[in-house]
Amino acid sequence: MKRRAIEFKIDGITVKGSAGQTVMDVADQAGIYIPRLCDVEGLEPQGSCRVCTVKVDGRPAAACTQPAAHGIDVINNTPEILSYRRDLIKMLFQEGNHLCSICEASGRCELQAMAYRLGIMEPAKYPYLQPVRPIDASHPDILLDKNRCIRCGRCIRASQQIDRKNVFGYIGRGINKRVGVDGRNLADTDVDVNDSAVAPGTCPVGCIIMKRIGFHEPIGQRKYDNAPIGSEIEKTRSGRGKE
């Protein structure tokens, strides 16, 4: 059945989509980047990181889960919203042990890239929580460093929705919420190196890593060395500035 065509504005720019799409879907299609961490193509959105917060007709909403509707007015890029996003990213940095200088995900890490994109150049005012979470190196080919986990849930959804497994899942609530595995450790689960849950690009940070790869990708050739995060969406936009 053909979906009803809709039209609305993002930061004053008219965009076109169809009913059933999210605000994020339509924005992506139009080449307008709305920052996000927990949302990734191919997985159902869950709206947990809140980095994609926009204002829809004046009310905050997560663009990745907010249904698009005809005639709505979406505000994505204002100093106020950018300030919220910066605070969220800073809190993620403070909550985990994100030592970019020694992390092999550096240069392809979405958290780091988002910080650069949003112009975060200094530590936040919040205290570092400096968690001490044991590294799970039990699996012969996959390593989990949960000190770097941002609880985006991408591995959980990929395991459930694509791999049809339950290798990863949330444990605990509130500040104690964390990602666990379905077993004593990763080696005790039915994870496979070919699973989508552990594929490159599923984990946005350096929490799930393939062993013995490390720093094989030279500086200068890494995903975000030469173009900021979101530019892959923005470059699809035609006639930018003329609308």
Residues that bind another protein (CB under 8 A): 101-102, 104, 135, 137-138, 143, 209, 211-221
Nearer CB in complex with another protein: 24/209: 209
Closer residue to another protein (CB): 50 or 133: 133
User: What is the nearest approach in angstroms of another protein to the Cβ of residue 172?
Assistant: 23
Q: Sign (positive/negative) of CA torsion 151, 146, 133, 166?
A: positive
Q: Which is nearer to another protein, 175 or 219 (CB)?
A: 219
The distance of closest approach from Cβ of residue 102 to another protein in the complex, given in angstroms and rounded to an integer, is: 5
Contact (Cβ atoms closer than 8 angstroms) between residue 142 and residue 211:
yes
Closer of 11 and 217 to another protein (Cβ): 217
Closest approach of Cβ 39 to another protein, in Å? 29
Task: Supply the minimum distance, in Å, between the C-beta of residue 100 and another protein.
Answer: 11
Least distance in angstroms from the C-beta of 125 to another protein: 23
Q: Can you tell me the distance from the alpha carbon of 188 to that of 181, in angstroms, rounded to the nearest whole number?
A: 9
**CB-CB contact of 88 with 46 (8 Å):** no
Q: Cα dist. 243→12, 30, 77 in Å?
A: 9, 11, 16
Name the residue nearer to another protein (CB basis): 9 or 223.
223
Cβ-based nearer residue to another protein, 56 or 143: 143
| CB 97, min distance to another protein, A | 11
What Å distances lie between residue 187 and 111, 193, 208, 229, CA to CA? Answer: 27, 11, 13, 33
Give 208's strand partners.
144
Identify the CA nearest to 27 among candidates 62, 2, 1. Answer: 62
